[in-house]
């Protein structure tokens, strides 16, 4: 009989260890979430995650902050609770609101465990001393308290809730697309206040991220990717190769090269399952390509 308490203690300890932060999982999540795309200024040879990348938007130019563990210029003095609040609520340790150019509306949907693993991983990257560059915004967008209004209109914090009636694969795909991949941040068109346009989920934008064209990725046959076979969509997400032989360019090339290409086969398949299930929206954002025999010489 006396052996039981010891056994239970052992099982509990095993559970606590298993539930502790997992660095490999953190690195995987970090890639799926594309944190490095924005927080590394690759164009100017910037150090990983030291920030300084310019994000040009119709509202102004944002410069991403340093998220390495440097104590003075990065997150070195942050606690896990600070990090959790940044992703879940879009607020800094001092309570200030973040601009939605940091896609916390998507990251708010991450699970508690995934935020913990991401934080464990971020603490292991080399600290870099590099001061943050201020954003360049018109005066009327500078006061951060204004962002409380934006949040009231367009931000619903809280972790992803699996949809009842959908299977585990669909729900995993939804989590990867909505929470981690923040695909809607670029692929859903916005209104003038920066909120997503209703009924236009993933329907593309003529002048989206950095002013460029972002295609419609709903299953609409004429204007979206409804004619792509499942295998073609999976190949594109893994390699960037389109069914017509073109390869992904610009921001999507970064999303794939720094992120999606590292994901497991089941995760890519789950994303394809989810993407092929979203409502088809007819929204033409790109000019139809000329058929091959229409080329002029």
Residues that bind ligand HEC (CB under 6 A): 33-35, 37-39, 55, 62, 64-65, 67, 75, 83, 86, 92, 98-99, 101-103, 107, 118, 177, 181-183, 185-187, 209, 212, 214-215, 217, 225, 236, 242, 248-252, 255, 271, 275
CB of 29 within 8 A of CB of 118? Answer: yes
Considering the complex, state which of residue 13 and residue 76 has its C-beta at the smaller distance from ligand HEC. Answer: 76
Residue 273 C-beta: closest distance to ligand HEC, Å: 12
d(CA 228, CA 219): 8
The end-to-end CA distance of the chain, in Å, is: 89
**Between 37 and 239, CB nearer to ligand HEC:** 37
Considering the complex, state which of residue 13 and residue 134 has its C-beta at the smaller distance from ligand HEC: 134
Nearer to ligand HEC, 80 or 163 (CB): 80
d(CA 174, CA 61): 30
Query: In this structure, what token pair is assigned to residue 113?
Result: 């465990």
Length of the chain, please?
297
Q: How far apart are CA 284 and CA 186, in angstroms?
A: 16
Smaller CB separation from ligand HEC, 5 or 138: 138
- Minimum Å gap between C-beta 177 and ligand HEC is 6
**Can you tell me which residue has the tokens 């999303």?**
255
Placement of tokens 């699970």 in the chain: 111
Q: How far is the CB of 295 from ligand HEC (least distance, A)?
A: 20
């Amino acid at each position: 009989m006396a052996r039981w308490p010891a056994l239970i203690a052992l099982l509990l300890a095993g559970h606590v260890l298993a539930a502790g932060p997992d660095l490999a999982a953190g690195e995987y999540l970090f890639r799926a979430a594309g944190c490095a795309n924005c927080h590394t200024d690759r164009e100017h040879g910037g150090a990983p995650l030291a920030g300084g990348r310019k994000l040009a938007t119709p509202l102004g130019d944002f410069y991403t902050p340093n998220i390495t563990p440097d104590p003075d210029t990065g997150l070195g003095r942050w606690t896990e609770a600070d990090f959790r609040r940044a992703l879940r609520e879009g607020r800094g340790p001092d309570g200030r609101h973040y601009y939605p150019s940091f896609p916390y509306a998507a990251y708010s949907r991450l699970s508690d465990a995934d935020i913990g693993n991401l934080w464990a991983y971020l603490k292991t990257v080399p600290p870099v001393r590099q001061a943050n560059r201020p954003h360049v915004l018109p005066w009327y967008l500078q006061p951060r308290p204004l962002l409380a209004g934006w949040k009231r209109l367009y931000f619903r914090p809280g972790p992803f809730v699996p949809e009842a009636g959908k299977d585990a694969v669909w729900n995993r795909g939804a989590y990867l697309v909505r929470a981690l991949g923040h695909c809607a941040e670029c692929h859903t068109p916005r209104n003038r206040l920066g909120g997503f346009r209703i009924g236009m989920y993933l329907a593309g934008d003529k002048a989206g991220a950095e002013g460029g064209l972002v295609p419609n990725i709903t299953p609409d046959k004429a204007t979206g990717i409804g004619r792509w076979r499942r295998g073609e969509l999976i190949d594109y997400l893994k390699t960037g190769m389109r069914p017509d032989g073109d390869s992904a360019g610009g921001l999507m090339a970064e999303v794939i090269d720094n992120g999606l290409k590292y994901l497991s086969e089941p995760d890519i398949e789950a994303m394809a399952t989810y993407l092929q299930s979203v409502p088809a929206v007819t929204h033409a954002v790109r000019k139809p390509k000329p058929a091959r025999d229409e080329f002029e010489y």
